[in-house]
Structure 1
Amino acid sequence: MNHQDQGGSAGGPLAGLKVVDMTTSYAGPTASMYLADLGADVIKVERPGAGDDARSWGPPFVRDTSAWFASANRNKRSVVINLRDPRGLRTLRRLIGEADVFMENLNPGKLASLGIDHETVRAESPRLIYCAMSGFGLDGPDSALPGYDLAAQARSGIMSVTGPKGGSPQRVSSALSDVVTGMCAALAVSAAVVRQREHGDGELIDVSLLDSDLAVMAPRIAAYLAGEPEPAPSGGTDSVLAVYQSFATADRDLAIAIGNDPIWRRFCDVIGTPELGADPELADNAGRRVHRERLVAAVTEKLAGRTAAEWQKILGEAGIPCSLVQGLSEVVEDPQVVARGALLPVPGTGGALHSVHSPFRFGSIPRPRNTAFPALGAHTREVLGEHGFTDEDIDTLIAEGAVQEGAR
């Protein structure tokens, strides 16, 4: 079976694109996974022994596989290369020389010492798309600092607006910086591929965790620079819109999003507070923000009289956006989530491991590519053979420790 077509529909808009991916952890692997979902052939280059750092992230582990690792590495092939061995480094450079895209998240000094920094590589391969992923970008005083999700959330201001009112700043409890950075990198690479295919031009793409988190914070930064007071943790009650937060009902929390004035008036009618809808001081969003505490108190009192499910039905029938505040045990069984096929069981794990469908769907790809994460070094021999190495060459490289072969 052709590796391009395993586990899903044939082709995809990036079919025929060869990506050599040296990234580890979560942001880079997320980016290359989205490219693979779109049809690219992603060759995951890993170090001997442990491989990608995320292979050890856990628990939970299922048959020694990290759930985190499995969630970001579908549709790829794994090659193990020893970059401390000159023959291994030459092998990597051969793979890069035949690639369309090269992705890395290594320290700039390490890249230069190996001769795979962007200046050297792109001088040799002008049509190559070189995607450099880092914590803080390729320039600036802190470009050499290592970057992790927590540091990016802290430095970008995300933590400064997250947490309970009056409480300490908190990290958004998911790999937010990594996933958003992965999306940004996949977008940038896809755009560069258009020009590469039309004109043969290469590109240097600079994507960082900090820049991605600043993009997440764009509306808050813009509001602050326009004169809004510096925000602090508010428990999610300080939106530019009012009302736009969760409320306690008789049994559980319900999130309600009042996006415009007509929705506000309908909302007041259906919850039994027509006087609020008729109050000229609350007629527009600016007024509702000024009087947020008063109207939130009134709404809270009303909503306490019924269960969240009752309110969800009432508000839904009136066209008012709302949702139960769901835990993950509910999310994974949500009828919309299930109907959209958002959860992808990892093949061969009996449903014990899952990844999540990429956040886009193509009409021309009715069934998503969904091959399991690769075992460490599972494709070393296969990939090297495709790049002109003979069986004897590969046997020699393996015997001398320049590359390693794993179980399929």
Structure 2
Amino acid sequence: MHSHASSRRSGVAGPLAGVRVLDLTTSYAGPTASMYLADLGADVIKVERPDVGDDCRGWGPPFADGTSAWFASANRNKRSMVVNLRTAEGLELVHSLIGSADVFMENMNPSKLVRLGLDPETVRARCPRIVYCAMSGYGLDGPDHRLPGYDLAAQARSGLMSVTGAKGGSPQRVSTALSDIVTGMSAALAINAALVRQRTSGDGDLIDVSLLDTDLALMAPRIAAYLAGEPEPAPSGGTDSVLAVYQPFPTADRDIVIAIGNDLMWQRFCAAIKLEELAADPALRDNAGRRAHRSHLTEVIGERLRERTAAEWLKVFAEADVPASLVQTLSEVVADPQLKARQSLLPVPEREGLYGVRSPFRLGSVPEIRNTCFPALGAHTREVLEEMGVPHQRITELAEAGAVVFGNEEN
């Protein structure tokens, strides 16, 4: 167990208090994973390279207050130290930091890892209790394991793009860093599982997560349906779900979505929009029937929905207990009363214009949100070295040798 400076600072312990994570990842997937661990109370030490730090620090515009909005959104509740892995002393320092950590995370290319002695085999031989999390584009083995990975490539290769987009249109990327964020979630899930065993048996583990595997997992129901004989899908504007009616519709003023999940809901829906003849039609009583007549249904329902405004229909559907929603723009999303009530948006403390989004889980044991500002580059280099028991004189020598860099230190 480790002393936990950062949770003391924020006053919130969290179930992972006492877990130390050494995070060498850059970009978005790895930092998302370590942020979720930090939100749960872990002490995350973000090891960055001199001058530029994490690639994501430069991702913009937009920059607010000189900081990348993307960077701020994935790096709360962490400490940053700058170590130069090109120096022997810097590399040695990272190896001793691994020895003091519970979790080690990296997303470097395999040959660079071997050169630095940071590859899974070497690290796990030296430190059998470490939970080693390797994050990559395509995984640790297979013919393409050395290829660099990006969200766009993973969305394309996994088939996700082939089913996304307007009907008859070209394949589209889901327009957010989907592969990175869900890979971060997957890594955090697996790390937590490995930590449970580490706590009881002292054994570490090797966790292999990749962008491609994540997007394949997101495609699981579509792949399963295709292999079970469903025709190969193409972009369809969200109208080709296994469920019917389950899609967007225009109303008198704007689009809404309607999600009919079962046969009783179908009956309630027909009553709510006063199309009783659809409810009474035995050919439409079950989902298979509704799917067979999807285009006819879409036409009839579409005509009826265009008679009134979205707000009027949503009131009707709420009363009838039929799942429906506006297709909201981001200006509406950030003002949504449900988000406000659940404090889903986290303003970065003392940084005008920067926000994070709260982790997609709430724990009863952590009523107060853990939300400290992302770390300035190298802000905690000295603090971490002191915690490791490195003498002051040696800290000065390391800095003079260029092995470590002190940033703008926080109190």
TM-score, length of structure 2 as denominator length = 0.98
Structure 2 equivalent of residue 55 of structure 1: 57
How many Å apart are 1:2 and its aligned residue?
A: 3.2
- Cα distance in structure 2, aligned partners of 1:85 and 1:131: 24
Q: Does the 8 Å CA contact 1:249/1:304 hold for their aligned counterparts?
A: yes
- Cα distance in structure 2, aligned partners of 1:83 and 1:388: 20
Structure 2 counterpart of 1:64, from 63, 66, 72: 66
- Cα distance in structure 1, aligned partners of 2:251 and 2:405: 58
Q: Does the 8 Å CA contact 1:8/1:370 hold for their aligned counterparts?
A: no
Structure 2 equivalent of residue 215 of structure 1: 217
Is 1:360 the counterpart of 2:361? The answer is: yes
How many Å apart are 1:83 and its aligned residue?
A: 0.5
- Cα distance in structure 2, aligned partners of 1:2 and 1:383: 10
Structure 1 equivalent of residue 183 of structure 2: 181
- Cα distance in structure 2, aligned partners of 1:116 and 1:125: 11
- Cα distance in structure 2, aligned partners of 1:217 and 1:8: 40
Is 1:397 the counterpart of 2:398? The answer is: yes
- Cα distance in structure 2, aligned partners of 1:89 and 1:228: 53
- Cα distance in structure 1, aligned partners of 2:40 and 2:229: 43
- Find the residue that maps to 2:36 and give its secondary structure: helix
Is 1:5 the counterpart of 2:8? The answer is: yes
Q: Does the 8 Å CA contact 1:346/1:370 hold for their aligned counterparts?
A: yes
Q: Does the 8 Å CA contact 1:8/1:368 hold for their aligned counterparts?
A: no
Which residue identity is paired with 1:37? Answer: D
Structure 1 equivalent of residue 389 of structure 2: 388
Matches within 5 A, 1:247-266: 247-266=249-268
- Cα distance in structure 2, aligned partners of 1:173 and 1:142: 25
Which residue identity is paired with 2:366? Answer: I
- Find the residue that maps to 1:130 and give its secondary structure: strand
How many Å apart are 1:399 and its aligned residue?
A: 1.1
Structure 1 counterpart of 2:89, from 83, 87, 90: 87
- Cα distance in structure 1, aligned partners of 2:245 and 2:11: 43
Structure 1 equivalent of residue 79 of structure 2: 77
Structure 2 equivalent of residue 231 of structure 1: 233
Structure 1 equivalent of residue 314 of structure 2: 312
- Find the residue that maps to 2:238 and give its secondary structure: coil
- Cα distance in structure 2, aligned partners of 1:23 and 1:400: 24
- Cα distance in structure 1, aligned partners of 2:349 and 2:9: 11
How many Å apart are 1:184 and its aligned residue?
A: 0.1
Structure 1 equivalent of residue 146 of structure 2: 144
Which residue identity is paired with 2:280? Answer: A
- Find the residue that maps to 2:314 and give its secondary structure: helix
- Find the residue that maps to 1:272 and give its secondary structure: coil
- Cα distance in structure 1, aligned partners of 2:349 and 2:396: 30
Q: What CA deviation, in whole Å up to 9, does each residue of 1:44-73 have, x standing for no partner?
A: 000111100000000000121000000000
How many Å apart are 1:388 and its aligned residue?
A: 1.9
Which residue identity is paired with 1:354? Answer: Y
- Cα distance in structure 1, aligned partners of 2:345 and 2:200: 35
Q: What CA deviation, in whole Å up to 9, does each residue of 1:263-283 have, x standing for no partner?
A: 001111110110001111100
- Cα distance in structure 2, aligned partners of 1:282 and 1:152: 38
- Cα distance in structure 1, aligned partners of 2:101 and 2:147: 28
Structure 2 equivalent of residue 343 of structure 1: 345
Q: Which runs of 5+ in 2 are unaligned?
A: none
- Cα distance in structure 2, aligned partners of 1:5 and 1:304: 56
Which residue identity is paired with 1:294? Answer: H
- Cα distance in structure 2, aligned partners of 1:48 and 1:233: 45
How many Å apart are 1:8 and its aligned residue?
A: 4.9
Q: What CA deviation, in whole Å up to 9, does each residue of 1:106-142 have, x standing for no partner?
A: 0010000000111001001100000000000000000
Structure 2 equivalent of residue 31 of structure 1: 33
- Cα distance in structure 2, aligned partners of 1:340 and 1:100: 32
Which residue identity is paired with 1:378? Answer: A
Q: Does the 8 Å CA contact 1:159/1:169 hold for their aligned counterparts?
A: yes
- Find the residue that maps to 1:288 and give its secondary structure: helix
The change in CA–CA distance for 1:346 and 1:8 in structure 2 (over 3 A counts) is: farther
Q: What CA deviation, in whole Å up to 9, does each residue of 1:188-240 have, x standing for no partner?
A: 00000000001101000000000000000000000000000000000011010
Structure 2 equivalent of residue 375 of structure 1: 376
Q: What CA deviation, in whole Å up to 9, does each residue of 1:275-306 have, x standing for no partner?
A: 00111110000000000000010000000000
Which residue identity is paired with 1:4? Answer: S
Matches within 5 A, 1:198-213: 198-213=200-215
Q: Which runs of 5+ in 1 are unaligned?
A: none
Structure 2 equivalent of residue 44 of structure 1: 46
Structure 2 equivalent of residue 15 of structure 1: 17
- Find the residue that maps to 1:6 and give its secondary structure: helix
- Cα distance in structure 2, aligned partners of 1:373 and 1:121: 28
- Find the residue that maps to 2:10 and give its secondary structure: coil
- The number of equivalent residue pairs is 406
Structure 1 equivalent of residue 244 of structure 2: 242
- Cα distance in structure 2, aligned partners of 1:25 and 1:8: 28
How many Å apart are 1:5 and its aligned residue?
A: 2.9
Q: Does the 8 Å CA contact 1:79/1:376 hold for their aligned counterparts?
A: yes
Structure 1 equivalent of residue 288 of structure 2: 286
- Cα distance in structure 2, aligned partners of 1:141 and 1:6: 46
How many Å apart are 1:367 and its aligned residue?
A: 0.9
Which residue identity is paired with 1:99? Answer: A
How many Å apart are 1:7 and its aligned residue?
A: 3.1
Q: Does the 8 Å CA contact 1:152/1:213 hold for their aligned counterparts?
A: yes
